[in-house]
Amino acid sequence: MAMSICPANAQFVLLSFEGPDRYSQAGGLGTRVTELAQALAQTGFTTHLIFIGDPHLPAVETTEDGNLHLYRWCQWISQSHPTGAYAAEWDKILDYGNSVPWFVTDRIVRPAANSGRLTVVMAEEWHTTETLARLSDSLHFNGLRQQCVLLWNANNEFGFGHINLPRLGYIATITTVSRFMKHRLWDWGLNPLVLPNGIPRRLLADVPQAPVAQLRDGMDADYLLLKMGRFDPDKRWFQAIEAAAQLKHAGHRVRFLARGGLEPHGGDVWRRAAELGLTIQDVFSDNSNVAEALTAILAAKDADVINLREFVPEDLQRVLYSAADAVLANSGYEPFGLVGLEAMACGAVVVTGTTGEDYAVQLHNALSVETDDPAELASYLQFTHTQPDVIRQIKRHAKRTSALFTWDSAIRDLLSKVEYLAEKQGFSPQSATDG
């Protein structure tokens, strides 16, 4: 008889270097893991997230009415490496791999198995592969392997050279986040299941229009552009900056809001902007207060490029997305594209690449660039700028599209595939205590 995965008979364990702390967020993985954990807990599942947490926060924390358990691992190492989760990463990989498997086996899986419940372990990225292999060994040794579904998720191909792929494919089911990534992993001899990302349903709420109008009116720009992401060549920062320069030199008043990271490529981007004759001004602000942040941004409105140097929280992000004429998520290699989907939820005009953004349809709900040519990007921006009906259509359909990609939908998909895998390995709630 088919079983139905539900909070009464299953729990989740998420293994990831990134997580909800600012210390633990370096990119889209932190957002994905944080929101997935919250969504599972809000659905009613007991959820355990083990991540490289801020060394100054509690080692263990419980939220979401007791359903979400956060474990900040490797804090003793992080105390000496305050820059983020990936500082001293090899030391942390070793410590994580030596300690997490026994903890998950004894403290999380065994009690669940004794009560007939399934444990679904979802490990993220190459940093956790050795941990997952050791966990599999530990579970086998303790007679608990049949009470677990082990998944390993590839958000990208980073670090694949460090992975024993045959072993990983033997001990776990490989998953990934888009059809594009599924096809990329074929080249590695893998055939993963696709488990798409999602966005929280709260992002579908309307953005307050007063701060949006304040920013748009205050900038007084022909083109107000926004780009947020790591300084990585794959993000096509050069294309974005050069397209902005082309628009400026064509006589348009352009204001480019930028929020990058600490990566070395940022220096290349700013040198290129200066070579193109773009003026740049850094903005430092307490972005936790939207009004103060907008005041600081508007004070820099005479610059072509306004470089936001502080962390941008969700409330401010949504104002920026909504105010911009275009949100440039124009990556040349994008496994999924969470930023694009989050911006679409605000009714923004998003420019994506054409890789993992399965949700984007050119001139229907987004703009999509197929090359790294800045002229292509500038041309699409100019075209839509003169077509207000097209802009309204894109914004309307963007909002509708984003509603199809909430975590509610993603979790339904996840549960259906976990159920398939659990049945395939012969698990049933009644047989859990037999192991």
pLDDT of residue 434: 42
Residue-averaged pLDDT of the chain: 95
Residue 117's closest CA among 3, 1, 10, 7? 10
Side-chain-facing half-sphere of 231: CA atoms under 13 Å: 16
Q: Does an H or E element contain 13, and which?
A: strand 10-15
Confidence at residue 27, expressed as pLDDT on a 0 to 100 scale: 78
pLDDT of residue 240: 98
Low-confidence winner among 23-27, 181-185, 222-226, 403-407 (lowest mean pLDDT): 23-27
Average pLDDT over every residue of 77-93: 96
pLDDT score at 49: 98
**Worst-scoring range by mean pLDDT, 182-191, 283-292, 349-358, 403-412?**
283-292
Among candidate residues 417, 423, 424, the one with its CA nearest the CA of residue 195: 417
* pLDDT at 321 > cutoff 70: yes
Minimum mean pLDDT among 102-106, 309-313, 417-421: which range?
A: 309-313
Tell me what pLDDT residue 432 has: 44
Which two structure tokens, joined as six digits, stand for 387? 């077509």
Upper half-sphere CA count for residue 103 (Cβ side, 13 Å): 16
Averaged pLDDT for residues 273-300: 95
pLDDT in tens, 360-396: 999 999 999 999 999 999 999 999 999 999 999 999 9
The pLDDT score that the predictor gives to residue 345 is 97
What is the mean pLDDT of the segment spanning 31-57?
97
pLDDT, average across residues 84-93:
97
Distance CA 263, CA 269 (A): 11
Predicted TM-score (pTM) of the model is: 0.89
CA dist., res. 385 & res. 106, Å (int): 60
pLDDT for the residue 433:
43
State residue 311's pLDDT score.
Answer: 87
pLDDT in tens, 324-363: 999 999 999 999 999 999 999 999 999 999 999 999 999 9
Where do the domains of the chain lie, and which CATH numbers do they carry? 10-198+406-434 (3.40.50.2000), 202-404 (3.40.50.2000)
